């Protein structure tokens, strides 16, 4: 009986390992001209999706669900404790706050299943939120965008920039999208960054955020199935 149990355990481990390897292989982007073009197209699509919606949290949730990255496709916020960052002067001006007005800082990792999709630095003015919202932000891991949904907020993006491009500079001039010689496309940890201000329905700003999106936004099989 013990030998039978050990054999079953060994087979189960092998199946789990094979499944993990197959999943990793399926989400590997090939370092080919087509693979690079597809990766850029997906990044640009993701960027456009973020720019056309007010809630980054809900946009990430749709992206995760549409690409079958987790089941259920639900965004959770993993708070990073013990960190504090000063509000940049230009963002302080965007919030239209007096020099002594309190501002709170919250850093979270936005996760869908096993995938950390975004690292967000968020500064907000607690006096412009409800007591219940401040309570949730202080004591829970609920994403900021979901907490403040009752404010019917709109988002103004200050800047959005790709931190990585799959195509080399000047490729459009000489058509050079040749691979590096590697089989897999090497994608850095940070691929896209947005800076934005959130406004309540009365057009009063209450929060500013710097969102850095990770390579995990491409953690699904390439469209061409290479």
pLDDT the model gives residue 174: 66
For residue 36, the tally of other CB atoms under 10 A from its CB is 22
pLDDT-wise least confident of 5-14, 82-91, 211-220:
5-14
pLDDT the model gives residue 178: 65
| Helix 56-66 and helix 33-51, axial crossing angle in degrees, nearest 10 | 140
Which of the given ranges, 6-10, 26-30, 124-128, 163-167, has the highest pLDDT on average? 124-128
Band of the pLDDT at 16, cuts 50, 70, 90?
Answer: very low
Band of the pLDDT at 19, cuts 50, 70, 90?
Answer: very low
> Residue 62: what are its φ and ψ, rounded to 5°?
-65, -45
pLDDT the model gives residue 24: 41
Contacts of 217 (CB under 8 A, 6+ apart): 43, 46, 63, 117, 191, 192
Instruction: Give the H/E segment covering residue 199.
Output: strand 190-199
Q: For 174-226, write each residue's pLDDT tens digit.
A: 666 766 667 889 999 999 999 999 999 999 999 999 999 999 999 999 986 65
- Contact of 189 with 212, CB cutoff 8 Å: no
* Residue of 149 and 226 predicted with greater confidence: 149
Q: For 101-110, write each residue's pLDDT tens digit.
A: 899 999 999 9
| Nearest-angstrom CA–CA distance, 191 and 24 | 19
| Nearest-angstrom CA–CA distance, 139 and 79 | 10
Q: For 114-148, write each residue's pLDDT tens digit.
A: 999 999 999 999 999 999 999 999 999 899 999 99
- CA distances to 39, 56, 173, 198, 220 from 52, rounded to whole Å, are 20, 10, 30, 14, 22
Following CA atoms 78, 82, 83, 87 in sequence, which dihedral angle do they give, to the nearest 10 degrees?
Answer: 100
pLDDT over threshold 70, residue 17: no
pLDDT the model gives residue 25: 38
| Nearest-angstrom CA–CA distance, 59 and 51 | 10
Instruction: Supply the CATH classification number for the domain 31-169+182-218.
Output: 3.40.1410.10
Which has the closest alpha carbon to 194: 155, 224, 225?
155
Beta strand extents in 127-173 (DSSP E only)? 154-162
What are the extents of the domains in the chain?
1-25, 31-169+182-218
pLDDT over threshold 50, residue 11: no
Band of the pLDDT at 38, cuts 50, 70, 90?
Answer: very high
């Amino acid at each position: 009986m013990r030998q039978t149990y050990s054999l079953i355990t060994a087979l189960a481990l092998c199946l789990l390992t094979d499944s993990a390897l197959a999943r990793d292989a399926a989400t590997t982007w090939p370092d080919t001209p087509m693979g690079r073009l597809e990766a850029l197209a997906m990044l640009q699509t993701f960027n456009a999706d973020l720019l056309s919606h007010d809630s980054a949290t809900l946009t990430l949730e749709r992206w995760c669900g549409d690409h079958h990255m987790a089941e259920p496709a639900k965004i959770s916020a993993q708070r990073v404790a013990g960190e504090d960052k000063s509000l940049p002067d230009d963002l302080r001006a965007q919030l239209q706050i007096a020099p002594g007005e309190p501002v709170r800082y919250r850093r979270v990792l936005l996760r869908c299943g096993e995938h950390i999709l975004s690292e967000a630095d968020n500064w907000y003015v607690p006096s412009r939120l409800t007591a219940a919202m401040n309570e949730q932000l202080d004591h829970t891991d609920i994403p900021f965008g979901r907490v403040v949904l009752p404010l019917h907020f709109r988002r103004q993006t200050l800047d959005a920039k790709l931190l990585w491009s799959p195509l080399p500079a000047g490729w459009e001039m000489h058509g050079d999208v040749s691979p590096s010689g590697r089989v897999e496309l090497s994608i850095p940890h940070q691929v896209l960054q947005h800076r934005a201000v959130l406004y309540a329905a009365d057009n009063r700003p209450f929060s500013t955020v710097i969102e850095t999106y990770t390579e995990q936004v491409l953690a699904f099989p390439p469209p061409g199935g290479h």
